[in-house]
Amino acid sequence: MKRALMTAAAVCALTVGTAGCATTERSAENAALIEAAADVPDDSPARPEGFPADAAGATAFVADAETRLAALSEEAGRIQWTRATNITFDTMWLESRINAEYTELQVQLANGAARFNDVEVPVDVRRKLNLLRLGIVLPAPNRPGAAGELADITTRLDSTYATGKFEYQGRQITLDEASAMLATSRDPAQTRALYEGWRTISPVMAADYARMVAIANEGATELGFADTGAMWRSGYDMDPDAFAAETDRLWAQVKPFYENLHCYVRSRLNERYGDAVQPATGPIRADLLGNMWSQQWGNIYDVVAPTTGGASSYDMTERLVANNYDARKMVETGEGFYVSLGLPELPETFWERSQITRPRDREVVCHASAWDIDNRDDIRIKMCTEVNAEDFYTVHHELGHNYYQRAYKDQPFLFKNGANDGFHEAIGDFVGLSALTPTYLNQIGLLESVPGEAEEIPFLLKMALDKIAFMPFGLMVDRWRWGVFNGETSPAEYNDAWSANMLRYQGLVPPGPRPANAFDPGAKYHIPGNTPYTRYFLAHIYQFQFHRAACQQAGWTGPLHRCSVYGNTEVGARFNAMMEMGQSRPWPEAMQAFTGQRENDASAVADYFAPLNTWLTAQNRGRDCGWEV
């Protein structure tokens, strides 16, 4: 797909690689394809010259940059879409070439922007000059061949992930199949085999990854950053160190609640599997949590459901199946929520051009993403949707990206982006908080009745298994990358540092010792896909801030978790006004426009989950919570 921060027009994947190769064992043919793609020519576009070093020159330079970026990003977007929905030798070759060209243009423009550092220019021009420098995810250094090599590597990495398969019970299986089994398996031998099996796709990435880090760091230092991680942390309208401290502060707000959840879940897993599989103290075994990266735990609700008090009267996946939902109906239902807020219907081309289910006849990138191909109207999603609770959430998430893109389409090119990347991830999640309420599910006919108070704890526990469990994962992925980019973690330490972060932040351990050549980070999409991840951590805070503000605007006085803004066009109009701002102003202004607050604030998370936290504290009484690092 289009590089998200890079083109300011797409979200989720940043550098999209290509390949038609299986990963554990590359066929000779596919190895040849990957090597051939490495020979893509490296021709840099001409430098923009002739802009005087004054305010008028800066304004003209920025206008010219926007025209060039917009044109090339559309071409790149169409090629990237073609590659992501049909991985072949040729689409891979084309994408690697256009990505190199795009990176070269970006780097050239970022360097050009620096010429106006000491010139007094209008505020919006200054913001655009800064964004030219900050909007690159992986910068290439300014020497011949570097952008080409970087593009070849990112292409290979992403491809290896997208086409990854491993042998399980006598046949080659994909990530979707493995994930589906892991979600429902309650056999620790099986969950371990699936967890370890998927991680056999990534050792082959490790050398490429190390080389990529070296090149990108060279590029980042040329642009005046300490390293690529420092560059990523600079995209939040504040000092990069202050941003890192801000994420620490937010995590400290949520951590006691996570530890409470961890303690409760560990105890239930211990009851279920016994001491030999899951001890009653210490970290949790990662493969028992129903998700390939243990990032959302909702799939094991049945294992941890309360044994006293209320029970949950419904299972979302079962409800979707019983109501004959298919993938398209899930997307139409998602659209229906946005339309109820007064937002426009999706364009016809969305339905004609999106990839909603996995095509059976070719290799594709299945990780869900939302695209804005022409920076105007050609918005699409790319998913391999299955009819289940997880994808019901994901559909709302992806459409949030598309509705944001649609809202800011009249902004100038460099402002067509989220107020920060966390905002982009939070839009659909905010809508999802209403769309998962029993009240709404009842309104659209998925639930026959609205469960009463007795289901409060079961409902909140389900939500916490996804939302609270996610937070330390949302933090640890980039904590690992920050250490890799700044050199604290050497290539030889890549895997141990990843496991150490799992333990430190999530309190998790792999089901067994990891092999010497393991590269577990490579088995998580956003690492080979080079998508910064702190955005999801922020989104898990922002969505509750948006939800609390929206419910206040709606005059809701009941518990936050029961509030749905379905059908509320006033809230929709105010939300859209924030979205229309795009990236034109520092993010606190966008936050203020909708919530009245200018800060990141995890207190909305605490408000939403307050009854559950009290309940968990009572459940954990007498237990020895936490884990040693």
- For the chain, the farthest-separated pair of C-alpha atoms sits apart, in whole angstroms, at 75
Kind plus residue range of the DSSP H or E element containing 112: helix 89-114
369 binds, among ligand X8Z, Zn ion, none (CB under 5 to 8 A by kind): ligand X8Z
The residues in 383-422 that bind ligand X8Z, with binding defined as CB under 6 A, are 394, 397
Joined together, the tokens standing for residue 255 give 């951590």
Nearer to ligand X8Z, 264 or 533 (CB): 533
Strands 508-509 and 284-285: parallel
The footprint of Zn ion (CB under 5 A) covers 12, 425
Residue nearest to ligand X8Z (CB): 12
User: What does the alpha-carbon distance between residue 51 and residue 148 come to, in Å, rounded to a whole number?
Assistant: 28
Considering 10, 363, 367, 518, which one is annotated as catalytic? Answer: 367
Q: In the complex, what is the shortest distance from the CB of residue 26 to ligand X8Z, in angstroms, rounded to a whole number?
A: 26
Q: In the complex, what is the shortest distance from the CB of residue 590 to Zn ion, in angstroms, rounded to a whole number?
A: 17
Is 101 assigned a catalytic role? no
User: What does the alpha-carbon distance between residue 312 and residue 550 come to, in Å, rounded to a whole number?
Assistant: 27
Considering 526, 540, 547, 561, which one is annotated as catalytic? Answer: 526
User: What does the alpha-carbon distance between residue 490 and residue 145 come to, in Å, rounded to a whole number?
Assistant: 25
User: What does the alpha-carbon distance between residue 369 and residue 383 come to, in Å, rounded to a whole number?
Assistant: 7
Nearer to Zn ion, 12 or 523 (CB): 12
Q: Does 536 bind ligand X8Z (CB under 6 A)?
A: yes
Nearer to Zn ion, 421 or 456 (CB): 421
Q: In the complex, what is the shortest distance from the CB of residue 378 to Zn ion, in angstroms, rounded to a whole number?
A: 18
Sign of the dihedral defined by the CA atoms of residues 591, 595, 599, 602, in that order: negative
What contacts 68, CB < 8 A, 6 or more positions away? 45, 48, 105, 109
User: What does the alpha-carbon distance between residue 311 and residue 615 come to, in Å, rounded to a whole number?
Assistant: 14
Considering 19, 147, 368, 370, which one is annotated as catalytic? Answer: 368
110 binds, among ligand X8Z, Zn ion, none (CB under 5 to 8 A by kind): none
433 within 8 A of 543, measured Cβ to Cβ: yes
Is 146 assigned a catalytic role? no
Count of residues of this chain found to bind ligand X8Z when the rule CB under 6 A is applied: 8
Nearer to Zn ion, 284 or 538 (CB): 538
Is 493 assigned a catalytic role? no
E strands in 485-597: 508-509
Nearer to ligand X8Z, 447 or 463 (CB): 463
SS3 65: helix
Kind plus residue range of the DSSP H or E element containing 189: helix 188-198
Rule CB under 6 A: choose which of 7, 299, 312, 369 binds ligand X8Z.
369
Is 60 assigned a catalytic role? no
Instruction: Please name every residue paired with 379 in a beta bridge, in sequence order, or none if there are none.
Output: 372
Helices 569-580 & 587-595, crossing angle to 10 degrees?
A: 170
Is 401 assigned a catalytic role? yes
536 binds, among ligand X8Z, Zn ion, none (CB under 5 to 8 A by kind): ligand X8Z
Q: In the complex, what is the shortest distance from the CB of residue 61 to ligand X8Z, in angstroms, rounded to a whole number?
A: 32
Is 536 assigned a catalytic role? yes
- Which stretches of the chain bind ligand X8Z, using CB under 6 A? 11-12, 295, 368-369, 394, 397, 536
Residues with catalytic function: 367-368, 397-398, 401, 425, 526, 536
